[in-house]
A and B are shown apart, each in its own frame.
Chain A
């Protein structure tokens, strides 16, 4: 179980923030005609992050708003290329997809399952074989042929969680979405995440709930203004984070 599933070394991500960002052609041309080049300010969202996640390990990422948590997840998910540094991630990466992203409110639950699973790159046959298990876990039996707009928000997030976990990912990315659903489902999804670790699935969890992070994660990365302030076991890092806030 010592194989790495995510290996990030010296990752930097730079955003170019234009001081006056031209949003229209007109502004852009006026700028250029006046002979001004656009003034950009570099903003480094990640500054030299190193992180190794083994198979079956779950790592929490915590930090204040704007610390770089979401950017780091984007780099891991392969959505964003780092400005500098290397990232390798092995296997299928499944992010939990929330309402508004891969879901269409006009489509039924079943149609949304098809859409969502194909977003993760699955073929029709694979989707069909997992369909029953997805519905089962999401507890949506009688509603699965209703349009999603008639669902409660808890039902939608149950469906999202069920799809992302039922496809047997190698890396599961959870971005602050465990807070939804009732107590029963919360417990059920936590159990499932804990069960994943035994199957060798790596989990990356971003959360502001210290309780979730503590119960689910082996190690925690504390980000502060784009740098890794601390990396270690849950208790020590959470203590440090709480001290930062005090």
Chain B
């Protein structure tokens, strides 16, 4: 039992490495583009325009403020999907380092999730711009936003630990995860409103952790809803659950990773 916890203080000892890995990830990603880090803000805006053109006619009746709806959904989805799908290869792509130096290996998926967080924070800027332009008043419940961010980090880190470990042993985890992400994306109200989901699929929606995260995020920003507490509860349970399962799974197999890298 105790051996499952030894890596936590080690991560704290290597916080400088964690910082450097996050910085590297962000620097390297935008180094060669002309607009650099501005892409983090521009990209969701452009995506919003596209989604708006495609879907606003269909959903405008049911959803007030469709641009805000779709942009908020999109950036939160990106936070989760991009962090986890790049964390998936975080052990295999750092194989030469893991082979040489003793490190708390979980620092690699963690750094990917944290650089996803930085992207997310940057992409809140265009979101608030859209709020101002569309004259949408911010909700008073904005204080739950840090709580939501904490949940998404825990959840993404837990999922990342599982898929990054699996990838070491089974290389086709990548392809399976890509498909699962697509399925999950359609099961999450990102660009469609929750109200159009037929009753018979309601269960699918309510088993999807991302559904609760979306719900909390939009309520924290601008939507009214009576079920904030319910979503916080389920979202919290899902994120702590994913983290605990991921952490145990990784710790169970971490000594074997080196033999397969």
Give A contacts to B, CB under 8 Å.
15-16, 22-26, 28, 74, 77-81, 93, 95, 97-98, 100-102, 104, 106-107, 111, 114-115, 118-124, 127, 175
Residue of A nearest to B14 (CB): A121
| B96 in contact with A100 (CB, 8 Å) | yes
B100 contacts the other chain (Cβ, under 8 Å)? yes
Known: A79-B101, A101-B97. A25 touches B172 (CB 8 A): yes
B70 to chain A, nearest CB (A): 33
Q: Which 6 pairs across A and B sit closest by C-beta, in order of nearness?
A: A78-B102, A101-B96, A118-B17, A118-B16, A106-B28, A24-B172
Interface residues of B in 160-176 (CB under 8 A from A): 170-173, 176
A114 contacts which chain B residues (CB < 8 A)? 20
| B100 in contact with A97 (CB, 8 Å) | yes
Residue of B nearest to A117 (CB): B16
Known: A101-B96, A118-B20. A25 touches B258 (CB 8 A): no
| B14 in contact with A24 (CB, 8 Å) | no
A179 to chain B, nearest CB (A): 17
Q: In whole angstroms, what is the CA distance A122 to B259 when docked?
A: 27
| A26 in contact with B172 (CB, 8 Å) | yes
Q: In whole angstroms, what is the CA distance A174 to B171 when docked?
A: 31
B103 contacts which chain A residues (CB < 8 A)? 119
Known: A79-B258, A124-B16. A102 touches B28 (CB 8 A): no
Q: In whole angstroms, what is the CA distance A76 to B32 when docked?
A: 40
Q: In whole angstroms, what is the CA distance A114 to B17 when docked?
A: 9
B259 contacts which chain A residues (CB < 8 A)? 15-16, 80
Q: In whole angstroms, what is the CA distance A13 to B98 when docked?
A: 18
B96 to chain A, nearest CB (A): 4
B14 contacts which chain A residues (CB < 8 A)? 118, 121
B13 contacts the other chain (Cβ, under 8 Å)? yes
Complex partner residue of B99 from A24, A25, A79, A111, CB under 8 angstroms = A79
A74 contacts which chain B residues (CB < 8 A)? 99, 258
Q: In whole angstroms, what is the CA distance A81 to B171 when docked?
A: 24
A90 to chain B, nearest CB (A): 14
Q: In whole angstroms, what is the CA distance A227 to B38 when docked?
A: 58
Residue of B nearest to A105 (CB): B28
| A23 in contact with B171 (CB, 8 Å) | yes
| A120 in contact with B20 (CB, 8 Å) | no
| B97 in contact with A102 (CB, 8 Å) | yes
Known: A107-B24, A121-B13. A77 touches B101 (CB 8 A): yes
B22-35 CB contact bits vs A (8 Å, 1 = yes)? 01100110011000
B101 contacts which chain A residues (CB < 8 A)? 77, 79, 95, 97, 101-102, 119-120
Q: In whole angstroms, what is the CA distance A14 to B19 when docked?
A: 36
